[in-house]
Each structure stands twice: as C-alpha cells, then as structure tokens.
Homo-oligomer: A and B are copies of this chain.
Amino acid sequence: MLANTFGTLFRVTTFGESHGDAVGGVIDGCPAGLQFSLSAIHAFLQRRKPNPQLHGEVSTPRIENDDIHFHSGIQHRDEDTVITLGSPIAFTVQNRNVRAQDYTTAIFRPGHADYTYFKKFGIQGITGGGRASGRETVARVVAGTIAGCLLEQYDIHVYGGTEAIHNIHGTHFNYAQAHRQPLYALDSDVVPRWQERIAEVKAQGDTVGGIARVIAYGVPAGLGEPVFDKIDARLAYALMSVGTVKGIEIGAGFTASSYTGSQNNDPIGEEYEQNNAGGILGGITTGQDILIRIAIKPIPSISKEQKTLNSQGEPCTLSIQGRHDTCVLPRVIPVLESMVKLVLADFLLIDRARKDIFSF
C-alpha cells in the first residue's frame, strides 16, 4: 500500500524503468495451490502490446517481445501448468529493442512526467519516461492476470472495453466480446469511424484519448471495508494510478449528480431493475455487477511542435519523432482490468478472514 506496492493481503510490488534492464514485479499473498497456465498469462499480456492485426495503425510499431521469466513462487506441474507455493511470485520481463536515442533529451516533454520526476528526484537524463512509462504496466498485467485466476475460482469475471475514442461513442455494449474486437470496442459498429478518426489525427502528428469501461460479473455481496477502504475508493485508487487516467465514475457517476433521489435509488428486489450504484453501496458490494467508467487522456507524445523548457529552464520548442501510439486506449484496457482484478482478489481474501466465524 505504499509507493510501488499495492494491496493488503494480495499485494503486488512493481519495478523497472522503461529503458533499463527489465521491468517486473513481486506478487505476495497469493494463496498456495492456485494453478494457472503460463501460456494463458502470456496470451493476456499480449493484449496490452501493439497489435497491428487488431488495432491497425493505432499503436507503435515497436515490437515488445514480452517473455515473462518467473523467478520464484511457483512449481511446474507440466511444461505449461504451474501451481503457486504461497511464497512471493517474482518475475521479470527484459526490455528489448531499446532505441534510447529517441528519448535522450534534456527537454521536458509537455504532458509527460519528465518535469515532475526531475523536481522530485533531482536526476536528469532518465530516458523514455523511466518509471512513469506505460512499460511499467507489464507487471500490473501479469499480477492482475494471476489475481484473475483466483477470482475464476469464485466465478468472478472482469471485462473491459472501449466506449469512446476521441468524441465518438459506442451505444450498445458487449463486455464479454470486446477483447476480440478491433480497438477492444464494446460496440463494434463504431469501429470504422474510430479507425478513420485515428488515421486523420495520426496524419496531423497528433494523438487521441477516449473512454474505457470495466465490468465485474459475479462479485458476491459483502466485499469492501468501511470507511476509508470502501471498495469504490480502492477501485478509484487503483485505476487513477494508471498513467493516462484522468477520471473515474462508479455506476451512474457524474450523471447521478443530475438525478433526483427517486431516480437514482436502485429498487432492492430479487431482480434489480437498474444499477445506478454500480454494484456498490456504502463502499460494499451489493451482488450486482460492478460498473466503472474511466477517462483516458490522449498520449502526450506528439510530433506537432510544442512550447516547453529545457532542464536549464530555458524556453524551447519540441517535436517528438519516436515510435508512439496514436491512440493508446486499447493497450490500457488490460491494465484497467488487471487493476480491478487486483482489488477484487484482495478484498475477497480480506472478507474471507472474518467471514463465518459467527453465525447469525
């Protein structure tokens, strides 16, 4: 729960700069005896990588060959299946295909963390965003995927997808299929318009953001810990810690602010008729679906010329030429899903700790 560690009983610590030796993580607190398939982890990890087939010209042509090397915490049952030992699961993913010259600049890039890291840590010349790079999220996805394997034991499933790119919104959402759609579209009908818009923006040397959604099915009632560790508070914490996120809504979100109480209150009944609460009341799950909506800003690396300062404090201009995504949103989706899985796995364990000691 501090700096580079997240979680209480199911914890992950991540490490690694984008252009250093490796990124990786340590998962501590995963129960012993969980089986998972290494190829399944690898397949999930592919989803945060540039995928020309699914996402066309969206993402950077830089190829990230994310081979995960597990150092501890698991034992092989067969070549692909492993079982957790209850000890920390450490892994590294080597950084390859590094072209540091794209990044070696003492000019603070607008919208990036260059300036703030410099003010905080006082170190110049950390290339490629260093720790603030999206590359760090590799470790979150590995940890989140393993958390997801634990959740599956409880029939809890987490899905994310793209609602909007730039200002083009989908309207009918299919969560379970989104990861098979181009741009991880929740509504595949808008994909052609998204692709067209992305091509236009790319031609202008610019980038676009969008809106993501994450849903969790099958979450039992009773997860979450009042009052500061409300499950929505921890979800907001988890999701806002992802670099490009600028807004979070639970259930009806900002729309709830323009409802009356009688509109907003979800009737309680065997079949819930609406879910403005997003599956959470008083910070505790109701048993309905957890619904989250997330605002993703456009990636700040643009080739259009921008005004900025160099590290001597002198005004200058900057045009960023390296390999960068035009729309990073699809690659962020598995990171968002992973953060939600980490929160749910953690609260599931915390809830188990005290559950059914006393009967009522």
Contacts and interface: CB of A to CB of B under 8 A. Distances in A.
A293 B281 CA distance: 21
Interface string A261-304: 11111111110000011101111111100000001111111101
A24 interface: yes
A92 B4 CA distance: 18
Contacts of A295: 249, 253-257
A285 B116 CA distance: 6
Contacts of A277: 111
A266 B83 contact: no
Contact of A308 (B34, B206, B246, B268): B268
Interface centre among A167, A201, A221, A253 (most CB of B within 10 A): A253
A72 B230 contact: no
Tallying the copies of this chain within the complex gives 4
B307 A269 contact: yes
Contacts of A57: none
A349 B136 CA distance: 26
Nearest to A226: B131
Nearest to A122: B360
Nearest to A110: B265
A241 to B, nearest CB: 4
A234 interface: yes
B132 A264 contact: no
A167 B257 CA distance: 7
Contact of A5 (B13, B283, B287, B297): B13
B123 A257 contact: no
A265 B301 CA distance: 9
Contacts of A215: none
Contact of A17 (B33, B85, B246): B85
| Pairs A-B, 5 closest by C-beta atoms | A113-B282, A33-B358, A237-B237, A207-B261, A116-B284
